[in-house]
Every structure is written in C-alpha cells, then in structure tokens.
Chain A
Amino acid sequence: MTDTAIPIDRGDRPSTLRKIGEVVVSSPMVMLAAVLLAIIVLASIFAPWIVPHDPGRLSPSVRLRGPDSTFWIGTDAFGRDLFSRVVMGGQISLAVGVGAAIVSVAAGLALGLLAGYIRWLDAILMRFVDGLMAIPNILLAIAIVSLWGAGLWTVLIAITIPEIPRVVRLVRSVVLSAREEPYVEAAIAAGSSSWLIMRRHLLPNTVAPLIVQGTYICASAILVEAILSFLGAGINPETPSWGNIMAEGRLFFQINPGIILWPGLVVSVTILSINLLGDAVRDALDPRMAKRGIDR
C-alpha cells in the first residue's frame, strides 16, 4: 500500500531517431520513398563521377535525339546529354531544397522563440510576419530575384524568406502553449534566466514539429526553384537544374518529350518521397496524429 513499494518503471523511451526508423521500416510505401530518395540524393552527390557525358558540352550534330544506347534518355536542343544534365541538376535542386529548409527553420526557430516568450516583442514581430505572409510566395521570390539578379544565392534567399513566417508561427504557437506548463513556471520560480528557459524547457518541444515542417519546406523549395527556373527567373541556364532543363525544353517538347518528362518525373518522385517521409516522421513523433490519420 505504500507508494514507494510501487516499482519504478525502468523502461526507457526509444530515441527520436529510433522511432523514425521504426515507422520507416513498418510501412512499405515509406520504405520505397526512403529508397528512391536515397538513390536520388546519392546520384546527385556523386554526379560528377556518374555522368556518362559532360553535361555542358554542346554537340549540334546530335540535337534532339531520342533515347538510344549512347544518350540513354536522348539529348536537348543543343545536343547535350539529357541524362547527365538531369543527374547534375539534382545537385542544384537538392542543395536549394535542403539549404532553404535549414536556413528558414533556423531563422524561424530563433524568431519564433523570441516572439513566443517575450511578450512585448511578440506584437511587433508578428505584425511583420503577417505582412510577409500576405504576399504570395512565388511573387515575393520573383521580386527578390529581379531586385538582386538571378544566381544560386539569390534564388536560395528568395525561396527561404517567404518560408520563414510559417516556421515562426509554428514555433510561436508551440512556445505559447509550452510556457504555460507548470515545469516552465517552476523554472521561473527557480530563478532560471529567460535564455535558459528557452533553451532547456521550450526549445525541445519544437524539435518534432520542426523536423516535419523542414521536410515540407524542402519539398516546396525544390518545387519553387523549378518554377522560378521555368519562368526564367532562376539560376542561369548554363548550370543545369531540374527547373531550367524543363524551361529550355518547353519549345521542343513535341520533338523530344523526354526533355520535360524526365526532369519532371524526378522532381515529382523527389517531392512525393520527401512528403511521405515527412508524414512518417510526424507519425513517429506524435502518435496522436498518427491515430487520427487512421481514423479518417
């Protein structure tokens, strides 16, 4: 009957990584997505060693070829090997995706923590964020690119800035609810500084939703980069990216549909895989969400 007689549960909770791993393994769809994404990422990283041809070499004699044994998925309007260009293009597209995700999550996390925890800063920061959110992403990105000129860095910034407000809002809402927890108030009573409270008691609560949000931003950034390049407001055409390969192929679509088909397919598969993995991570980190998903 005494309380101390109740055995203390020694079970450890599985680590975050392990939980994610379990969900990935348990679903064939997610497994497939993980494998496809791994292939695409590895191919992009090792692209210079994989590509059969120089993706930049112009050979007017072999323009707009269909698939054959030399050019596996054909050539573009300048006679460049499409396969090599798509593989190389992954470097830019994925770099933009991952870069935008990391930078916008980091910036949004810092701003969101401040907005959520420091009351007087909240009003000022959030009005600014609301203002940013009122402008459509692509429009804002095009405006930034046309202001500073096209280039990898400008494109990265142009894609990242419109994503930040969403992260700020997410982090702020998590912080607002977490700061009411008695353990946070106990820390205040213990004389902990705002910095310590944010770092120790509030920040860990944001990790799970941020990992999920990060995957969505990554997917969305790859798409926005493709759109910007397609519109001609993206990375300059000498550097292949999935977007500008498709942009250049626009006029010759009827002669060699592969110019648009293959990079388009790779973009779709990449984004689908990232989103599937994002959902899986969300389910792993928040079991309540997962259950609701099944009920629906």
Chain B
Amino acid sequence: MNKPVLDIRGLRIALDGRADQELVKGLDLTIQPGETMCLVGESGSGKSITALAVMGLLPKALKMTAGRIELLGETIHNAPAPKLRKLRTTAMSMIFQEPMTALNPVAKVGRQIDEVLEAHSNLGAKERKRRVLEMMESVHLPEVERIYRSYPHQLSGGQRQRIMIAMALIMQPQLLIADEPTTALDVTTQAQTLSLLRELREKQGTAVLFITHDMGVVADIADDVTVMKLGEVMEAQPTEQLLRHPRTDYTRELLKAVPSHVPRPPRADDNAPVVLQTQALTKVYSQGGWLVKTRETVAAKEVAFTLRKGRTLGIVGESGSGKTTVARCIMRLIDPTSGTIEIDGTDIATLPPRELKPHRRKFQIVFQDPMRSLNPRIEVGQSIIEGPLNFGVPRKQAMARARELMTLVDLPASAVDRFPHQFSGGQRQRIAIARALAMDPEVLVADEAVSALDVSVQAQVLRLMADLQAKLGLGILFITHDLGVAAQICDDVIVMQHGVIVEYGPAGEVLATPQHPYTKALIEAAPGRHWDFANFRPFSESRQDA
C-alpha cells in the first residue's frame, strides 16, 4: 500500500493549551492518495480547527497539545515556518467557504493565481501565463483570457470559487483541504463545483479533505467519512457503510435530521379562509438622479399567490431570485412598486405608516440570522413585549404572555430576564418566533428562518413551527433555498427565478414532478437527493419496498 497523503494521530488542540478547554480531543484520520475524506460535524465540532492545524494556520490562542500530523510521511506539526510555507500550495492547499473574502478585491484574478506560481516556481512570465490559463480552463471557466483580466467582484460566486480552486491546484498539491467550499454557493453552482472537484480528483489524483455540515454533500462526494462532535470523533467509516449502518446514536440522529427531498404527505385542502393574497406584486429598484433614472432592476415581477389559514406556502429559489424581496414587500419593510397585498381582506400595499400600524399585528416575520435578530442590549423578554406594548397591552399582562410564549417554544419561562448572548443560535431563533407570536399574527413570514442553524437544531425548529401552526392556525410563508426543507414543511410551493414565479402548485406536484426546466435543474442539483437518509438506504431501494 502507498504511503498515506495525510496521517493524523491523536491530535489534541486546546484553547491557551489548557486541558479543560480542549476543542479537538484525540483525532485520528488517514487519507490515501486520490481519496476524498469528509469531515462532518455541527458547529463547534472542531472540524475547521483540524484543517487549520494541518495547514499550520492555527490562531495564536489555540495550541496543539498532543499528537502528530504527517504529510506524505513527513512530520509537519512541528515544522519551521519557512518549510510550512513551501509545503502550502506545493504539497497541500486550502479553499475556503466565502470566495469573495478569500480573494484580494483590488487585484486581477489571473494575477492572483500567477502570484502562486511566481512564488513557488522559476518559470518565465510567458510560461506562467500559459500555465495559469491552462489551469483556468481545466476548472471550466469560460473566456479565460477575459476572466484572467477581471477583478473578483466582476465574477459570479461560482466563478470565484473556481478561481480559488485553480489557485489551490496550480502547483499540483497532493492534498486539497476544502472547508465548506460550497456552503455559500447556490445549489446549482454547488453541484457544478462538486462535480469539478470529483473530476479533478480523477484527473490529478488529488486527495481531498472535505469539511462540511451537509450530509447530502457527503453522500455525493465522499469515499470515507469521519463524524465529529464537540471535538471528539464519533465514528469513521466508508461513506456507504456509514449511511447504511451508522454505528453511533449521534450519527443516526444526524442522518435522521436531514430533511428528505420527498415531499411529506399533503394536508387536506379544506378551503380555509384566505389570510394573505398578493396580485401582480412588483418591486423595481431604480438608480439615478433627480431627473433621469439610469438603471432599473426588477427584483420581483407580477408575483401573485394565495395563502390560506393554517397552511404553509414555500417560496424557493436561488440568490437573486427575488424571494426575500417578496417577503420584505409583504412586511412593508420596503414599499412595493405596484400590485396589491391583501392581508385579511385589506390591501396594505400602499397604506401610509399611520394607517398601516393597526394591521401590523396581523403579520410578523422571523429572520435568518439568529445572532442579529434580537437587540443584544435588552433582555429577551423586553424584545418579546415590545410589539404588544405598542398596541396598548398593559406591561404586566404582556410580560405574563411572554413567559407563556417562552414555554410554548420550549424555553424556561424565567429566561425572559436574560440577554440574547446567553442563548444558543437555535434558542435565539425560538425567541424570535416567540416575539412574532406575541402579536397573535395570522401570517408568519419565515425568511430563511432555519438556514443558519445546525441540521439537528433545524429539525427541532421546523417541528416547533409545525406544532405552533397546528395549535394556532397560522398561515406560514416560508422562504428557503433548501428544497429538502421546503419538501418537509410546505403544502404549496412557489419556485422563483430572476424575480418571476416559474412554477406554483402543491408541493407534492412541484417537487416530485416538476414541469419547468429551472425547477428540474434545482431538484437535479440538490446534493444527496438519491439517498433516503432517515431510512439509511438509497431511494431506489425504498421504492422497491413500496
């Protein structure tokens, strides 16, 4: 057998080198040439820190306290800085989650790749340029000459990530470390990037350490999987073995929490009253001076839908599809350019602030980012009662209701006196839901409300929302980029592209038998869609059973 590309034994990393602050607790990991190893875990599992340790890029506060890291049979965890510098890019390199911040915004991308060659080879300028263009072609960038001369902001997210990959692979390293490289990308771009990584592995034989939280991605790309939780390795198995026969409860829970792409059974359409209806809702952003409007961007065009009491309507689409614009128009956080928004029979699209206020309590919103959706300076209880106080509810009564709501979202009632930083992300999102519910709304708009959460927490919050809907008869407008989440929670689904609805219908029909090519492409691109994670087998086998 060949020498492994990467061999980690008993790796321990601790904050300030303190034994009680260990972030990685004895990690063993081996990657063979040409193998893709996925390191999976939720936030705080220590997976990214492990990658940084291999690259020799640990932040100063973190110390490696024990263990050994070998790259191609050479010990590197105690290598001197100049040697490590040489090893990076020639023997190992890394790509990051956010390609916009990983590239220098004021240098042309071709030059940035060239820099790597310049530093690590003694080729002439002409030869270097030829090599760079060749590399850019091999990561399937179009019009390489033009892109060579482009700045990062002139490229799309997917193109930027390709540049990062080109930069990482130009010295043909044996090991590529990819830290959540597709998390910030749209699902179709993600699919392209994953297939590119697969192709490069086959062509160049690069071994990949792929860090992700997404089991779908794991099913698509990994040969072997190591599951981590709070710094400890839970288990390590070949991918199919792991997906079929997880050894630990944690992995089992993790797999069960993955939202399935098969739509849940539809609920009876009971012709409940309409709580939200839009017609020809349009939002145009125009730039320009007082006299001439220079550029117009249509963010949403003639969006029309109906939401009934107690039902969930999903809006899915990639970034720039206009789904969030629609949500913000409905909340009247921005003013729609034209069209109507009827809430409980009243058109609120053009109401001036004073007349709008009495209607505000009927529709509430939950945002994506749990870190920013609560004012960090005031107790969560105060945040919850702000709305009711605005509508004249006495403080005592509002506070009593806030305590009730906290219990309703599975948090202790006494926690109303605490500040947002004292809660975890999932807990904060529950509080944000409690705040929305404090107004007794008829419509709840959830704008990517579970996208920033770990998959197990995400499953809990989704369950909570479904329970609340059943109890309170809420109409939920659920905005998401994740088709799996949409399939699990929605009765009806709208697919948006470039501000326009391309498909609208019952979730079962739209997601199972899509008509529009864009919907098909979206579903096609969803990672791990062939795998029925919750039942530990591929869908092909599930269907045979049925």
Contact = CB atoms under 8 A, between A and B. Distances in A.
A10 B375 CA distance: 18
Closest 5 CB pairs of A and B: A190-B387, A182-B367, A191-B360, A182-B373, A3-B426
A8 B423 CA distance: 6
B383 interface: yes
B333 A185 contact: yes
Contacts of A134: none
B27 to A, nearest CB: 21
Interface string A1-26: 11110101111110000000000000
A1 B418 contact: no
Contacts of A9: 421-423
Contact of B375 (A13, A183, A191, A193): A183
A188 interface: yes
B331 A189 contact: yes
A225 to B, nearest CB: 36
B365 interface: yes
Interface residues of A, number: 27
Nearest to B249: A1
A9 B415 CA distance: 11
B374 interface: yes
B456 interface: yes
B435 interface: yes
Nearest to B377: A204
A4 B435 contact: no
Nearest to B453: A3
B456 A1 contact: yes
A204 B361 CA distance: 26
B378 A200 contact: yes
B356 to A, nearest CB: 8
Interface of B: 249-250, 253, 331, 333, 357, 360-361, 363-365, 367-369, 372-375, 377-378, 383, 386-387, 390-391, 410-412, 415, 418-419, 421-424, 426-427, 430, 432, 435, 439, 456-457, 460
A191 to B, nearest CB: 4
9 contacts: A3-B460, A9-B423, A182-B368, A185-B331, A187-B386, A188-B333, A189-B364, A191-B390, A192-B387
B422 A6 contact: no
A147 B411 CA distance: 65
Contacts of A200: 375, 378, 386
A6 B427 contact: yes
Contacts of A3: 410, 424, 426-427, 430, 456-457, 460
Contact of A190 (B386, B456, B457): B386
Contacts of A11: 422
A264 B360 CA distance: 61
Contact of A196 (B390, B415, B430): B390
A181 interface: yes
Given A3-B460, A10-B422, A191-B357, A186 B432 contact: yes
B331 to A, nearest CB: 5
A191 B438 CA distance: 13
A201 interface: yes
Given A4-B410, A186-B435, A13 B427 contact: no
B365 A183 contact: no
Nearest to A1: B253
Given A4-B411, A189-B360, A189-B387, 19 more contacts: A3-B460, A6-B426, A8-B424, A8-B427, A182-B367, A182-B368, A182-B372, A183-B383, A186-B435, A187-B386, A190-B360, A190-B364, A190-B386, A191-B360, A191-B391, A196-B386, A196-B390, A200-B386, A201-B375
A189 B365 contact: yes
A55 B427 CA distance: 66
A141 B532 CA distance: 75
Contacts of B363: 189
B292 to A, nearest CB: 18
Given A6-B427, A8-B422, A191-B357, A186 B365 contact: yes
Contacts of A13: 419, 421
Interface of A: 1-4, 6, 8-13, 181-183, 185-193, 196, 200-201, 204
A196 B386 CA distance: 10
B374 A183 contact: yes
B448 to A, nearest CB: 11
Nearest to A2: B460
A8 B415 contact: yes
Contacts of A8: 412, 415, 418, 422-424, 427
A3 B423 CA distance: 10
Nearest to B445: A189
A3 B462 CA distance: 13
Contacts of A186: 365, 367, 373, 383, 432, 435
A191 B367 CA distance: 17
A4 B463 CA distance: 14
Nearest to A10: B422
B333 A189 contact: yes
A24 B373 CA distance: 33
A8 B333 CA distance: 32
A6 B411 CA distance: 11
Contacts of A192: 386-387, 390
B362 to A, nearest CB: 11
Nearest to B360: A191
Contacts of A182: 367-369, 372-373
A113 to B, nearest CB: 16
Contacts of A6: 424, 426-427
Contacts of B386: 187, 190, 192, 196, 200
Contact of B250 (A1, A181, A185): A1
Contacts of A201: 375
A12 B374 CA distance: 17
Nearest to A194: B353
A206 to B, nearest CB: 12
A13 B333 CA distance: 32
Contact of A191 (B365, B369, B387, B430): B387
A20 B103 CA distance: 37
A187 B422 CA distance: 21
A220 B6 CA distance: 60
A121 to B, nearest CB: 15
